[in-house]
Amino acid sequence: MDTYASDLADLVEALDLTDLAVIGHSTGGGEVVRYAAQHGVGRVTKVITAGAVPPVMIKSDSNPDGSPIEVFDGIREGVLKDRSQFYQDLSVPFYGFNRDGAKVSQGLKDDFWRQGMLAGLTAAYDCVKAFSETDFTEDLKSLDVPIFIAQGDDDQIVPIHDAALKTIELVKHGTLKVYPGAPHGIAGDYQAELDADILAFLGS
Protein backbone atom coordinates (compact mmCIF):
# COMPACT_ATOMS: atom_id res chain seq x y z
CA MET A 1 0.00 0.00 0.00
CA ASP A 2 2.93 2.32 0.62
CA THR A 3 4.03 1.65 -2.97
CA TYR A 4 0.58 2.49 -4.33
CA ALA A 5 0.50 5.76 -2.40
CA SER A 6 4.07 6.64 -3.34
CA ASP A 7 3.38 6.02 -7.03
CA LEU A 8 0.36 8.33 -6.83
CA ALA A 9 2.47 10.95 -5.07
CA ASP A 10 5.06 10.81 -7.84
CA LEU A 11 2.38 11.33 -10.48
CA VAL A 12 0.73 14.21 -8.63
CA GLU A 13 4.07 15.92 -8.10
CA ALA A 14 5.12 15.42 -11.74
CA LEU A 15 1.88 17.05 -12.88
CA ASP A 16 2.06 19.61 -10.03
CA LEU A 17 -1.61 19.10 -9.14
CA THR A 18 -3.18 21.16 -6.38
CA ASP A 19 -6.71 21.65 -5.01
CA LEU A 20 -7.02 17.93 -5.57
CA ALA A 21 -9.90 15.59 -4.78
CA VAL A 22 -8.85 11.94 -4.64
CA ILE A 23 -11.39 9.15 -5.13
CA GLY A 24 -10.84 5.45 -4.51
CA HIS A 25 -12.95 2.28 -4.57
CA SER A 26 -12.14 -0.83 -2.53
CA THR A 27 -8.34 -1.22 -2.41
CA GLY A 28 -8.12 2.15 -4.14
CA GLY A 29 -9.90 3.67 -1.17
CA GLY A 30 -7.01 2.57 1.00
CA GLU A 31 -4.56 4.01 -1.50
CA VAL A 32 -6.13 7.47 -1.54
CA VAL A 33 -6.47 7.57 2.25
CA ARG A 34 -2.80 6.73 2.70
CA TYR A 35 -1.77 9.14 -0.04
CA ALA A 36 -3.80 12.01 1.40
CA ALA A 37 -2.55 11.39 4.92
CA GLN A 38 1.13 10.83 4.17
CA HIS A 39 1.81 12.70 0.90
CA GLY A 40 -1.08 14.98 0.06
CA VAL A 41 -0.91 17.71 2.68
CA GLY A 42 -1.21 21.04 0.86
CA ARG A 43 -2.44 19.37 -2.32
CA VAL A 44 -5.50 17.34 -1.35
CA THR A 45 -8.67 19.21 -0.39
CA LYS A 46 -11.17 16.33 -0.36
CA VAL A 47 -11.15 12.54 -0.13
CA ILE A 48 -13.87 10.19 -1.38
CA THR A 49 -13.99 6.46 -0.76
CA ALA A 50 -16.50 3.83 -1.90
CA GLY A 51 -16.58 0.31 -0.51
CA ALA A 52 -13.10 1.01 0.76
CA VAL A 53 -10.91 -1.34 2.82
CA PRO A 54 -9.92 1.06 5.66
CA PRO A 55 -9.48 0.94 8.56
CA VAL A 56 -8.33 -2.72 8.46
CA MET A 57 -9.97 -5.90 7.19
CA ILE A 58 -8.14 -8.83 8.77
CA LYS A 59 -9.12 -10.35 12.10
CA SER A 60 -6.60 -9.91 14.90
CA ASP A 61 -6.45 -9.38 18.64
CA SER A 62 -6.92 -5.66 18.07
CA ASN A 63 -9.60 -6.21 15.39
CA PRO A 64 -11.56 -9.23 16.68
CA ASP A 65 -14.56 -8.78 14.38
CA GLY A 66 -12.48 -8.63 11.18
CA SER A 67 -12.38 -11.30 8.49
CA PRO A 68 -10.22 -14.35 9.33
CA ILE A 69 -6.98 -14.98 7.45
CA GLU A 70 -8.58 -18.03 5.81
CA VAL A 71 -10.80 -15.73 3.74
CA PHE A 72 -7.77 -14.05 2.20
CA ASP A 73 -5.83 -17.30 1.86
CA GLY A 74 -8.80 -18.52 -0.20
CA ILE A 75 -8.44 -15.54 -2.52
CA ARG A 76 -4.74 -16.23 -2.93
CA GLU A 77 -5.46 -19.88 -3.67
CA GLY A 78 -8.05 -18.93 -6.28
CA VAL A 79 -5.68 -16.50 -7.99
CA LEU A 80 -2.90 -19.12 -8.16
CA LYS A 81 -4.97 -22.18 -9.02
CA ASP A 82 -7.18 -20.85 -11.83
CA ARG A 83 -7.41 -17.09 -11.83
CA SER A 84 -9.58 -16.96 -14.95
CA GLN A 85 -12.32 -19.04 -13.30
CA PHE A 86 -11.75 -17.29 -9.98
CA TYR A 87 -12.48 -13.87 -11.50
CA GLN A 88 -15.57 -15.20 -13.26
CA ASP A 89 -16.86 -16.65 -9.97
CA LEU A 90 -15.94 -13.55 -7.95
CA SER A 91 -17.91 -11.27 -10.27
CA VAL A 92 -21.17 -12.76 -8.97
CA PRO A 93 -20.96 -11.63 -5.31
CA PHE A 94 -18.98 -8.56 -6.35
CA TYR A 95 -22.04 -7.17 -8.13
CA GLY A 96 -24.61 -8.90 -5.93
CA PHE A 97 -25.80 -11.07 -8.80
CA ASN A 98 -26.42 -13.90 -6.32
CA ARG A 99 -29.23 -11.96 -4.63
CA ASP A 100 -32.91 -12.61 -5.29
CA GLY A 101 -34.25 -10.31 -7.98
CA ALA A 102 -30.80 -9.18 -9.16
CA LYS A 103 -30.59 -8.08 -12.78
CA VAL A 104 -27.55 -9.99 -13.96
CA SER A 105 -25.40 -8.27 -16.58
CA GLN A 106 -23.18 -10.62 -18.53
CA GLY A 107 -21.36 -7.56 -19.83
CA LEU A 108 -20.38 -6.48 -16.33
CA LYS A 109 -19.25 -10.01 -15.48
CA ASP A 110 -17.17 -10.16 -18.66
CA ASP A 111 -15.60 -6.76 -18.00
CA PHE A 112 -14.75 -7.72 -14.41
CA TRP A 113 -13.03 -10.86 -15.74
CA ARG A 114 -11.22 -8.81 -18.39
CA GLN A 115 -9.85 -6.34 -15.85
CA GLY A 116 -8.77 -9.13 -13.53
CA MET A 117 -6.91 -10.94 -16.29
CA LEU A 118 -5.07 -7.73 -17.20
CA ALA A 119 -3.38 -7.73 -13.79
CA GLY A 120 -0.07 -9.54 -13.50
CA LEU A 121 -0.16 -12.68 -11.39
CA THR A 122 2.39 -11.45 -8.85
CA ALA A 123 0.63 -8.10 -8.47
CA ALA A 124 -2.76 -9.77 -8.01
CA TYR A 125 -1.37 -12.16 -5.41
CA ASP A 126 0.58 -9.54 -3.45
CA CYS A 127 -2.38 -7.15 -3.53
CA VAL A 128 -4.34 -9.49 -1.23
CA LYS A 129 -1.94 -8.90 1.65
CA ALA A 130 -1.85 -5.17 0.93
CA PHE A 131 -5.61 -4.62 1.01
CA SER A 132 -6.39 -7.03 3.84
CA GLU A 133 -3.59 -6.48 6.33
CA THR A 134 -2.72 -2.79 6.02
CA ASP A 135 -3.95 -0.79 9.01
CA PHE A 136 -5.13 2.69 8.00
CA THR A 137 -6.27 3.76 11.46
CA GLU A 138 -3.63 6.43 11.97
CA ASP A 139 -4.01 7.68 8.40
CA LEU A 140 -7.73 8.20 8.97
CA LYS A 141 -7.16 9.94 12.28
CA SER A 142 -4.62 12.32 10.74
CA LEU A 143 -6.78 13.45 7.80
CA ASP A 144 -7.65 17.13 8.18
CA VAL A 145 -9.73 17.49 5.01
CA PRO A 146 -13.36 16.46 4.40
CA ILE A 147 -13.90 12.82 3.47
CA PHE A 148 -17.03 11.32 1.92
CA ILE A 149 -17.39 7.66 2.89
CA ALA A 150 -19.77 5.66 0.69
CA GLN A 151 -20.67 1.99 0.94
CA GLY A 152 -23.50 -0.36 0.13
CA ASP A 153 -24.95 -2.23 3.08
CA ASP A 154 -25.01 -5.49 1.08
CA ASP A 155 -21.31 -5.41 0.27
CA GLN A 156 -20.20 -9.07 0.22
CA ILE A 157 -16.55 -8.30 -0.51
CA VAL A 158 -15.70 -5.62 2.08
CA PRO A 159 -18.09 -6.01 5.03
CA ILE A 160 -19.52 -2.61 5.93
CA HIS A 161 -19.18 -3.23 9.68
CA ASP A 162 -15.42 -3.56 9.17
CA ALA A 163 -15.11 -0.61 6.82
CA ALA A 164 -17.32 2.47 6.47
CA LEU A 165 -19.01 2.12 9.86
CA LYS A 166 -15.63 2.10 11.58
CA THR A 167 -14.01 4.68 9.32
CA ILE A 168 -16.59 7.36 10.12
CA GLU A 169 -15.71 7.03 13.80
CA LEU A 170 -12.02 7.75 13.15
CA VAL A 171 -12.06 10.81 10.87
CA LYS A 172 -12.47 14.45 11.89
CA HIS A 173 -14.51 15.74 8.94
CA GLY A 174 -16.39 12.73 7.65
CA THR A 175 -19.69 12.29 5.85
CA LEU A 176 -21.09 8.74 5.70
CA LYS A 177 -23.59 7.61 3.07
CA VAL A 178 -24.91 4.04 3.22
CA TYR A 179 -26.70 2.76 0.11
CA PRO A 180 -29.40 0.23 1.02
CA GLY A 181 -29.05 -3.06 -0.82
CA ALA A 182 -26.02 -1.91 -2.82
CA PRO A 183 -23.21 -4.41 -3.50
CA HIS A 184 -19.46 -3.89 -3.67
CA GLY A 185 -19.38 -3.33 -7.42
CA ILE A 186 -20.61 0.09 -8.54
CA ALA A 187 -23.19 -0.17 -11.31
CA GLY A 188 -26.78 0.59 -12.24
CA ASP A 189 -28.92 2.63 -9.84
CA TYR A 190 -26.17 2.52 -7.21
CA GLN A 191 -23.72 4.09 -9.64
CA ALA A 192 -26.16 6.84 -10.65
CA GLU A 193 -26.90 7.77 -7.03
CA LEU A 194 -23.25 7.62 -5.98
CA ASP A 195 -22.16 9.76 -8.94
CA ALA A 196 -24.72 12.42 -7.99
CA ASP A 197 -23.59 12.35 -4.36
CA ILE A 198 -19.93 12.66 -5.37
CA LEU A 199 -20.66 15.68 -7.55
CA ALA A 200 -22.63 17.29 -4.72
CA PHE A 201 -19.79 16.65 -2.27
CA LEU A 202 -17.22 18.11 -4.66
CA GLY A 203 -19.39 21.19 -5.11
CA SER A 204 -20.00 21.74 -1.40
Give the pLDDT mean for 134-151: 98
Q: Which H or E run contains 29?
A: helix 27-38
Query: Is the whole model's pTM more than 0.85, yes or no?
Result: yes
How many angstroms separate the CA atoms of 20 and 78, rounded? 37
Annotated catalytic residue 67: no
Please count the other Cβ atoms lying within 10 Å of the Cβ belonging to residue 30.
Answer: 28
Which residue among the candidates 26, 91, 139, 162 is catalytic per the annotation?
A: 26
pLDDT at 11: 97
Total residue length of the chain: 204
Domain that holds residue 52: 2-203
Q: What is the CATH number of the domain that holds 46?
A: 3.40.50.1820
- Number of domains within the chain: 1
CB-based contact 44:119 (threshold 8 Å): no
Which residue among the candidates 25, 139, 155, 162 is catalytic per the annotation?
A: 155
CB-based contact 128:79 (threshold 8 Å): yes
Give the pLDDT mean for 125-130: 96
Annotated catalytic residue 25: no
